[in-house]
Amino acid sequence: QKEVEQDPGPLSVPEGAIVSLNCTYSNSAFQYFMWYRQYSRKGPELLMYTYSSGNKEDGRFTAQVDKSSKYISLFIRDSQPSDSATYLCAMSRNILTGGGNKLTFGTGTQLKVEL
């Protein structure tokens, strides 16, 4: 079983829709949670970063972390065609407890926002 599970999609939604992307994880040592966006043939771009349970909002994006359920989500409001990309969740342990800077990624969810 993988440490981080993510539905690969593809997910297709109409423009303006609310998109919900999710990951579950099994390692309770993960303390930092990130969402990256990756366009085709490009490197991942950091979207959201959080290190505690609860919600964090940035413009149209909201990241949600539930450590008790080992579940994280990314919501995209008013989705646009330019949001079409692969969304990757990533997690890491605390550097001070030996995690270093190793990120463990989900497989990524491919999102297409259609006009």
Partner 1 sequence: KAGVTQTPRYLIKTRGQQVTLSCSPISGHRSVSWYQQTPGQGLQFLFEYFSETQRNKGNFPGRFSGRQFSNSRSEMNVSTLELGDSALYLCASSLDFYTGGADQETQYFGPGTRLLVL
Nearest distance, CB of residue 32 and partner 1, angstroms: 6
In 3D space, the residue among 83, 65, 77 whose CA is nearest the CA of residue 22 turns out to be 65
Of 79 and 106, the one with the shorter C-beta distance to partner 1 is 106
Of 30 and 83, the one with the shorter C-beta distance to partner 1 is 30
Catalog residues that contact partner 1 under the rule CB under 8 A: 32, 34, 36, 41-46, 49, 51, 88, 90, 92, 95-96, 99-108
Nearest distance, CB of residue 78 and partner 1, angstroms: 26
Nearest distance, CB of residue 66 and partner 1, angstroms: 19
SS3 readout for 74-98? EEECCCCHHHCEEEEEEEECCHHHC
